[in-house]
């Protein structure tokens, strides 16, 4: 390809709207262009790289026997109502009506669609296992699209779905998929750490995320120092998280709760300052609403003042729930901002206590009265036993650097980008959508499912975030838009002839070549070559040619090497082969 015949709109300016390096580089190197918030054009360079990522994914998916299909973006809302995700997804779901007023959605993922598809065709255990995948555009109406391709509203996803007759068969495909993911990320040149993630209905070792460690990431992962344990923050467990009940709370001398006026201080830090106490001496109390069948149930969750409630962990205890809506909670008697655990003495609610909160002997907490806190709170003294029959002590908080991994090792914390997710779904979708098969004994059984996602755009973000330098992008060879950029000092005469000949010769060898045939000063061309980050650069000038030589430079090196023209194609081909 010749530079003047394609569109590579490089720019020296750092775009104001781009905060993280990959976003800045994608715009500066002309990989993408924003159409509206979180919706992007893929320009030629970006698209070439993304297509290479697709190709690697396809090869690895096909190699493990997954078969490619393509499902539509436009889905009937009715299908999503059957699994209730039409409601659960909330405003994240793009909704529309067609000309006949039929409700449609734009698919943010395709579990329903693929389950219905398989349900329609698979009758017998002989047709299973089956793994289907697609690389297709997804739509999610994110509240705050940001960070370039990290949080977008229209994006490509590789989503795979597997169908099984047994947990063993699911596990086999899960492991094959896990292996394919490891190979995909390696071939794309991005580091990816598999971490335990939300386990869902199957329980146990049933879900892993692949995280690229990187400061711009929005995810937090937790690893044990000995490297034997890794999980996302949502999932990360701790050594001393379990096994206690309300009866294990420390005793304290009986005494009245002492009310203190704390006007307008609804969060931990200002209360600590005002009362000269430490967060470790406080109990933080949050109110949630859980869906208990048709009716709503209040949940009061207590953690120590220096800890954060982990909603995923809390969900494991109380089922599906969300932070209570302020106004409704107030109407029910929760003085939001000043709630203390003893609110359960007068409002019917389920109490869930983190073990560390339980072990605070006398605590400062909300007084259940606006602008007041109490000191001297003790679980045994101040809770009405009659109202705490169903109180639970459970790990419901994020781990902190003071915690130990379940195996006792120290924990380290890292930011990262989630690149992919493998998940044992179980029969959640097949139960609701009637995806059953007949087993050997002609018994009807629900199919057991797994689902497996990769964000190809996020792979690109991760490749950029982990490899750029002050001059621009440094593409991994495997996903570089071009392997080689040929930079003629001046594209004319003998230099032009050689550039054209090399372009043809390398292309015939399967090398992706870009010739910078622009009428620009060499300095501009060099700067652009660095910015767009092509792994190999060949500089052709009159001076070198007179000695039968051209300059070959790797993007990460400062110094070029002189290579004899007759050896160039071999040298380049070998360098590429060694790096993909």
Map the footprint of a second copy across residues 25-44, applying CB under 8 A: 30, 33, 35-36, 39-44
CA distance 339 to 287: 8
Q: Please name which of 120, 110, 123, 105 lies closest in space to residue 70, comparing C-alpha atoms.
A: 110
Q: Is 17 in the site for a second copy (CB under 8 A)?
A: no
The sign of the dihedral angle between the CA atoms of 376, 378, 380, 384 is positive
Least Å distance, CB 2 to a second copy, is: 8
Map the footprint of a second copy across residues 130-149, applying CB under 8 A: 130, 132, 137, 139, 141, 143
Least Å distance, CB 439 to a second copy, is: 16
**Cβ neighbours of 485 (radius 10 Å):** 28
Least Å distance, CB 537 to a second copy, is: 21
CB 532, CB 8: distance < 8 Å: yes
Backbone angles phi, psi at 388, to 5 degrees: -115, 20
CA distance 156 to 179: 22
Nearest-5° angle of CA 537, CA 543, CA 547? 95
Nearer to a second copy, 32 or 184 (CB): 32
DSSP assignment of 251-265: P------EEEE-TT-
Nearer to a second copy, 214 or 449 (CB): 449
Q: Is 88 in the site for a second copy (CB under 8 A)?
A: no
Nearer to a second copy, 7 or 524 (CB): 7
Map the footprint of a second copy across residues 153-192, applying CB under 8 A: 153-154
Q: Is 1 in the site for a second copy (CB under 8 A)?
A: yes
CA distance 279 to 261: 18
Q: Is 127 in the site for a second copy (CB under 8 A)?
A: yes
The torsion of the CA quartet 10, 13, 18, 21, rounded to 10 degrees, works out to 70
> How many chain residues touch a second copy (CB under 8 A)?
57
Q: Is 102 in the site for a second copy (CB under 8 A)?
A: yes
Q: Please name which of 477, 469, 484 lies closest in space to residue 188, comparing C-alpha atoms.
A: 477
Q: Is 578 in the site for a second copy (CB under 8 A)?
A: no
DSSP assignment of 279-328: GGGBEEEEEEEEEETTEEEEEEEEEETT--B-HHHHHHHH-SEEEPPHHH
Window contacting a second copy (CB under 8 A); options: 48-56, 300-308, 521-529, 545-553? 48-56
Least Å distance, CB 76 to a second copy, is: 5
Nearer to a second copy, 122 or 513 (CB): 122
Window contacting a second copy (CB under 8 A); options: 92-100, 181-189, 205-213, 349-357? 92-100
Which one-letter DSSP state was computed for residue 149? G
Q: Is 55 in the site for a second copy (CB under 8 A)?
A: no
Q: Which of 65, 227, 270, 493 binds a second copy (CB under 8 A)?
A: 65
Helix, coil or strand: residue 15: coil
Q: Which of 12, 13, 16, 70 binds a second copy (CB under 8 A)?
A: 70
Least Å distance, CB 437 to a second copy, is: 13
Least Å distance, CB 515 to a second copy, is: 13
The torsion of the CA quartet 198, 200, 202, 207, rounded to 10 degrees, works out to -30
Q: Return the H-helix or E-strand segment holding 331.
A: helix 326-332
Q: Which of 16, 120, 247, 470 binds a second copy (CB under 8 A)?
A: 120
Look up residue 154 and give its two tokens: 């229209």
> Reading across the β-sheet that carries 392-393, which strands appear in turn?
321-323, 283-292, 295-304, 350-353, 392-393
Nearer to a second copy, 43 or 464 (CB): 43
Nearer to a second copy, 15 or 361 (CB): 15
Binding site for a second copy (CB under 8 A): 1, 4-7, 9, 30, 33, 35-36, 39-44, 47-48, 50-51, 65, 67-76, 91, 94-96, 98-99, 102, 104, 106, 113, 117-118, 120-122, 126-127, 130, 132, 137, 139, 141, 143, 153-154, 519
């Amino acid at each position: 390809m010749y530079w003047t015949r394609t569109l590579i709109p490089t720019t020296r300016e750092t775009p104001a709207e781009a905060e993280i390096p990959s976003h800045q580089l994608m715009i500066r190197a002309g990989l993408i262009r924003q159409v509206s918030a979180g919706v992007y054009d893929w320009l030629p360079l970006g698209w070439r790289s993304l297509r290479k990522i697709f190709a690697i994914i396809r090869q690895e998916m096909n190699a493990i026997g997954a078969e490619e299909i393509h499902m539509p973006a436009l889905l009937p809302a009715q299908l999503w109502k059957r699994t209730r995700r039409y409601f659960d997804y909330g405003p994240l779901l793009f909704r529309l009506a067609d000309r006949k007023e039929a409700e449609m959605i734009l698919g943010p993922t395709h579990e329903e669609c693929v389950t219905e598809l398989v349900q329609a065709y698979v009758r017998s255990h002989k047709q299973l296992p089956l793994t289907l995948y697609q690389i297709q555009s997804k739509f999610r109406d994110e509240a705050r699209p940001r960070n370039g391709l990290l949080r977008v509203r229209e994006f490509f996803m590789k989503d795979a779905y597997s169908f099984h007759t047994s947990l063993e068969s699911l596990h086999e495909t899960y492991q094959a998929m896990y292996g394919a993911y490891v190979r995909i990320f390696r071939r794309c040149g991005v580091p990816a750490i598999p971490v335990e993630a939300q386990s869902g209905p199957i329980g146990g070792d049933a879900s892993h995320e692949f995280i690229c460690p990187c400061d711009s990431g929005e995810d937090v992962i937790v690893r044990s120092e000995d490297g034997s344990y890794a999980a996302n923050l949502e999932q990360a467990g701790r050594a001393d998280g379990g096994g206690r009940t309300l009866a294990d709370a420390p005793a304290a001398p009986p005494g009245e709760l002492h009310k203190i006026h704390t006007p307008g201080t609804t969060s931990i830090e200002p209360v600590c300052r005002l009362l000269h106490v430490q967060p470790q001496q406080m109990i933080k109390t949050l109110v949630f609403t859980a869906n208990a069948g048709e009716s709503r149930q209040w949940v009061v969750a207590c953690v120590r003042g220096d800890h954060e409630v982990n909603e995923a962990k809390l969900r494991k205890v109380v089922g599906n729930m969300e932070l209570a809506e302020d106004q409704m909670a107030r109407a029910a008697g929760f003085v939001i901002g000043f709630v203390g655990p003893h609110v359960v003495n007068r409002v019917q609610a389920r109490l869930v206590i983190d073990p560390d909160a339980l072990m605070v002997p006398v605590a400062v907490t909300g007084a259940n009265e606006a602008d007041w806190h109490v000191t001297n709170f003790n679980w045994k003294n101040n809770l009405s036993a009659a109202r705490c029959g169903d109180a639970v002590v459970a790990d419901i908080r994020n781990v902190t650097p003071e915690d130990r991994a379940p195996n006792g090792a120290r924990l380290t914390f890292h930011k990262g980008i989630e690149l992919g997710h493998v998940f044992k779904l179980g029969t959640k979708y097949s139960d609701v959508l009637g995806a059953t098969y007949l087993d050997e004994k002609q018994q009807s059984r629900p199919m057991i499912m797994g689902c497996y996602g990769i964000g190809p755009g996020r792979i690109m973000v991760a490749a950029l975030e982990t490899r750029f330098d002050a001059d621009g992008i440094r593409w991994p060879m495997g996903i570089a838009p071009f392997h080689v950029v040929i930079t003629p000092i001046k594209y004319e005469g003998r230099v032009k002839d050689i550039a054209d000949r090399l372009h043809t010769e390398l292309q015939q060898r399967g090398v992706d070549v870009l010739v910078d045939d622009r009428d620009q000063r060499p300095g501009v061309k060099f700067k652009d070559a660095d910015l767009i980050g092509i792994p190999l650069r060949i500089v052709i000038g009159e001076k070198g040619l007179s000695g039968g030589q051209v300059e070959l430079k790797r993007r990460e090196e400062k110094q070029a090497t002189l290579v004899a023209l007759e050896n160039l194609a071999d040298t380049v081909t070998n360098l590429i082969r060694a790096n993909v």
